[in-house]
């Protein structure tokens, strides 16, 4: 089969199915890490007496690694190529995994009063951030690479198939984390702080093995299609350049990206100032004023930038510049729902029948999922909720597989728009606290989120040629949304309840749906399936 026969994994007559499978294994690794992160919040809430908002610093540290390393990773990916860039990323992940061994020792010292709990928390956050740094390299390289490993019309299908391995990692991550984070000894005392390092050391070993395999594997450096002629020499720019660049849209999306970037730096400043134990209200006022002033200054400066930007810049193409915003809001929604899943299930689940906790119910398989609550009624335990998270991620995985099939038949942007719109409705039903219906909607939300990240990625780098590697680093940088808005969702939950917190992802999905439905206008192309864009831009 040749590429002209529409091979899914064929380039110039060469089958790259094995290469695709090998690259797909990377998606499993980083999802396994992410899945464990999402059940870690509740562990620190109980071990260190943190609020929901404070425990969200776990997500902040995780996504901070993405934010700080995305641009360097994109630059190195362009210079090193796909193969060597992947190997570098895997080695960094292994270093971060092994760091959890000394972090566990630091935590042990906090239990005997030799270091403060805050110091122990920071020790774990450092490991989380280090792993995320390595994952940044992998995501920056692997996501765009899957889109070029075959017929371009099936780019969204391939990236969703690869992300199905990501779904497998999400399924196994929560119960694996639950086993070690919420383990107890014979006396019923928590031993999670002593065993937390074990799964991360396992990830470090897997990363080293994969780096070795990639060293010997065939990983060709394939150039992405340059539909917009971004790689052409500037001297060849036509006199109709202004007609080709939609400058109002360029300015709007540059401003939105600048606002999100300023917000990210504001979040980092908040973390630094908060560690100095300054008055919280004063810090908040200073940061709000500073971010507001910075956005106003950026708005004026970007007017000039938008006027000078040329057709040869990826930022001149609204389908890319709006993709970074869409990815920011999607990951923000995903991180919030994933990280507070256990909190929602343990606090918002309706009354549980006493029968479910009986030794003979379902052969006693789910007995350990429940415990007697403060009111004497049967409630879902943290470990039980962690196991339910696996069921949620199975919904996520089913969505990935079915979505990959649907994307071969239907336009990627329409699928994204409809899935985003449905998730707005689902989050509204959770917000309304409708009992078991709302609980079911949380699981449905996982299904609807399944195709969003890879589809936004494929739509965002469409037709960017050699600039796709650098462009992908900006889309990965947008993952910082997962560090910022979960803090807001946690704050809403602390003030009201976990159900009300779902108003935050609801708003995020509104923009995701907006991006999906408007992608043809932004890209001037009918769909990914249609191939090259229409004339002009």
Instruction: Say how many C-beta atoms besides its own lie within 10 A of residue 242's C-beta.
Output: 11
- What is the structure's pLDDT at 195? 78
Distance in angstroms (rounded) separating the CA atoms of residues 476 and 249: 22
Domains of the chain: 3-245+310-530 (1.20.1250.20)
**pLDDT score of 1:** 37
Predicted TM-score (pTM) of the model is 0.78
Q: What's the pLDDT at 262?
A: 84
| Confidence (pLDDT) at 355 | 66
**What pLDDT does residue 239 have?**
44
CB 226 within 8 A of CB 463: yes
Structure tokens given for 243: 């007609």
φ, ψ of residue 53 to 5 degrees: the values are -65, -40
Reduced to 3 states (helix: H, G, I; strand: E, B; else coil), residue 380 is strand
Backbone angles phi, psi at 271, to 5 degrees: -65, -40
- Assign 3-class secondary structure to 247-300: HHHHHHHHHHHHHHHHHHHHHHHHHHHHHCCCCHHHHHHHHHHHHHHHHHHHHH
pLDDT at 363: 52
- Cβ atoms of 15 and 220 closer than 8 Å: no
Low-confidence ranges of the chain (pLDDT < 50): 1-5, 234-243, 535-537
DSSP 531: -
**Among candidates 461, 404, 477, 390, which has minimal Cα distance to 135?**
477
**For residues 155 and 456, what is the distance between their CA atoms, to the nearest angstrom?**
12
3 HSE (CA, 13 A, CB side) = 13
User: Contact at 8 Å (CB) between 181 and 65?
Assistant: no
Q: Which helix (H) or strand (E) holds 371?
A: strand 370-372
Give the span between the Cα atoms of 406 and 155, in whole angstroms. 13
Closest by CA to 224, choosing from 509, 44, 462, is 462
């Amino acid at each position: 089969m040749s590429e002209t026969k529409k091979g899914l994994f064929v380039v110039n007559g060469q089958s790259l199915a094995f290469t695709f499978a090998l690259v797909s294994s990377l998606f499993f690794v980083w999802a396994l890490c992410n899945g464990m992160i999402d059940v870690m919040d509740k562990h620190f809430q109980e071990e260190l007496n943190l609020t929901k908002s404070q425990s969200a610093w776990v997500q902040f540290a995780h996504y901070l690694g993405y934010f700080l390393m995305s641009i360097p990773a994109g630059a190195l990916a362009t210079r090193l190529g796909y193969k060597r860039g992947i190997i570098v990323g895997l080695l960094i992940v292994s270093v971060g995994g092994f760091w959890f061994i000394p972090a566990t020792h630091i935590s042990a010292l906090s239990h005997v009063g030799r270091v403060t709990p805050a110091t122990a928390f920071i020790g774990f956050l450092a490991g989380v951030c280090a792993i995320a740094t390595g994952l940044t390299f992998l995501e920056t390289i692997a996501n765009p690479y899957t889109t070029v490993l075959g017929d371009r019309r099936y780019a969204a299908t391939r990236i969703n198939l690869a992300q199905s391995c990501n779904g497998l990692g999400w399924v196994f991550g929560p119960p694996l984390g639950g086993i070690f984070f919420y383990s107890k000894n014979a006396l019923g005392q928590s031993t999670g702080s002593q065993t937390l390092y074990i799964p991360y050391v396992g990830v470090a070993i897997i990363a080293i093995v994969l780096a070795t395999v990639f060293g010997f594997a065939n990983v060709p450096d394939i150039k992405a299609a340059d539909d917009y002629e971004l790689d052409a020499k500037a001297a060849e720019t036509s006199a109709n350049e202004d007609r080709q660049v939609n400058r109002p849209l360029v300015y709007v999306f540059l401003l939105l990206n600048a606002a999100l970037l300023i917000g990210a730096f504001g979040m980092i400043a908040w973390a630094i100032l908060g560690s100095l134990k300054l008055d919280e209200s004063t810090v908040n006022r200073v940061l709000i004023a500073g971010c507001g002033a910075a956005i106003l200054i950026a708005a004026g400066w970007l007017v000039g930038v938008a006027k000078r930007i040329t057709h040869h810049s990826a930022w001149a193409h609204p389908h890319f510049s709006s993709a970074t915003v869409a990815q920011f809001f999607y990951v923000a929604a995903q991180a919030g729902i994933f990280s507070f899943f256990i909190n929602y299930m343990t606090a918002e689940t309706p009354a549980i029948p006493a029968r479910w906790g009986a030794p003979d119910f379902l052969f006693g398989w789910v007995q350990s999922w429940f415990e007697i609550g403060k009111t004497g009624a049967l409630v879902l335990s943290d470990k039980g909720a962690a196991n339910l998270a696996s069921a949620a991620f199975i919904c996520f995985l089913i969505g990935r597989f079915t979505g990959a099939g649907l994307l071969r038949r239907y336009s990627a942007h329409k699928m994204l728009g409809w899935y985003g719109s449905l998730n707005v409705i689902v989050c509204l039903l959770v917000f309304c606290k409708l009992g078991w219906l709302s609980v079911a909607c949380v699981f449905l939300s996982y299904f609807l989120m399944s195709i969003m990240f890879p589809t936004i990625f494929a739509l965002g780098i469409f037709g960017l040629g050699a600039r796709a590697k650098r462009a992908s680093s900006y889309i990965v940088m947008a993952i910082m949304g997962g560090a910022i808005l979960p803090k807001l969702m946690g704050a809403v939950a602390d003030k009201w309840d976990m159900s009300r917190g779902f108003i935050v992802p609801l708003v995020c999905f509104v923009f995701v749906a907006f991006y999906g439905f408007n992608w043809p206008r932004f890209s001037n192309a009918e769909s990914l399936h249609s191939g090259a864009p229409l004339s002009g831009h």
